[in-house]
Copies of this chain bind each other. A is one copy, B any other.
């Protein structure tokens, strides 16, 4: 399958979508902090997956209602600087009121507006800032505004993250675009109508809400749910997909076209997931951990996630230290069932552990690998056909600095 990636692609690379990013005043810095994405098509289908945190923020609760009850979604508003989490009934009312404010300005109904928030937990929303954001964003909505929107949703992110691609389905071109933010409190476990990563995806494919949701949920498992920056899951993680049908390509479940669409969507989501890990708070490394031939996928997942979340592995990566003992320890306490005497481990393609013991590779030979910005650690249990992989960042001095100084 061939995808054509669009240079500087964003949600507005997709025909029929407009976006803006403005400064409403949520951030003290004066940086852009309010984004709006709208669809020109009245009947824009959608789906969403959200954090599985018990303390789901008010905007997450509202978005879940939209997924359950709204046939269409015309607009998404996102503020950065206040998570509207742990804000009780007042926070819920503020989320609803935010949608009403945006709906009134756009001439649509509130049920067609979704809201997402990121920032400090436990602070009530200042609705005057939403009013200001909407007032500034609506006239600024533009067919090339996607990258402005991507910038406005950043928190500790150092770069805006957006992408878009084209795929041929049924002889016609379908475009998918997306933006995301998130560099801390990142270990999403997105579950369908129940991830502070925020992601808005747009497409001009035509697809029903019911057909879109399982594709989104499955793809989340193979993209955002595979990444870990700090092992902390947010109260606000939200991924929304809007499909306006403008391409004229209709995607029906179980068809080859649906498979192509799902694959294109997955490619886009993985690109953004990779960008999030690359821009993880203080991150200097991107490490792919692959577990092969485990007794089950679940065993492989336990093992890969334990290595990806290990503070000792992550600090070793930061230190360019080829210390495989910490990998072994993490595999050992992961809860995965395996025979340690059969375990092989590779850094890149170089064996470091053979049959559970030192493979005898001189440490100097490993240094070239672990000094790279990106490398892979492969653990082969030689037991079954269970496989899993995760993408992880390291823990650096800057990780500590950012999180000892910053109020999330």
Contact = CB atoms under 8 A, between A and B. Distances in A.
B52 A333 contact: yes
Nearest to A394: B404
A293 B74 CA distance: 44
Interface in A197-222: none
A316 interface: yes
B185 A230 contact: no
Nearest to A231: B311
Q: Which of A56, A121, A396 counts the most chain B CB atoms within 10 A?
A: A121
A355 B122 CA distance: 12
Interface string A324-335: 111011111110
Contacts of A121: 323-326, 328-329
A326 B403 CA distance: 11
**Number of copies of chain A assembled together:** 2
Given A88-B341, A329-B232, A396-B400, A319 B405 contact: yes
Interface residues of A, number: 68
A323 B407 CA distance: 7
A403 B329 CA distance: 15
A348 interface: no
Main secondary structure of the interface of A (DSSP, over half): loop
B122 A312 contact: no
A341 B54 CA distance: 10
Contacts of A86: 325, 328, 340, 353, 356-358
A389 interface: no
B88 A355 contact: yes
A356 B312 contact: no
Contacts of A245: none
A210 to B, nearest CB: 28
A393 B239 CA distance: 34
A4 B400 CA distance: 41
A324 B408 CA distance: 10
Interface of A: 51-56, 83, 85-88, 91, 120-124, 184-185, 187, 189, 230-235, 309-312, 315-316, 318-319, 321, 323-326, 328-334, 336-338, 340-341, 353, 355-358, 395-397, 399-401, 403-405, 407-408
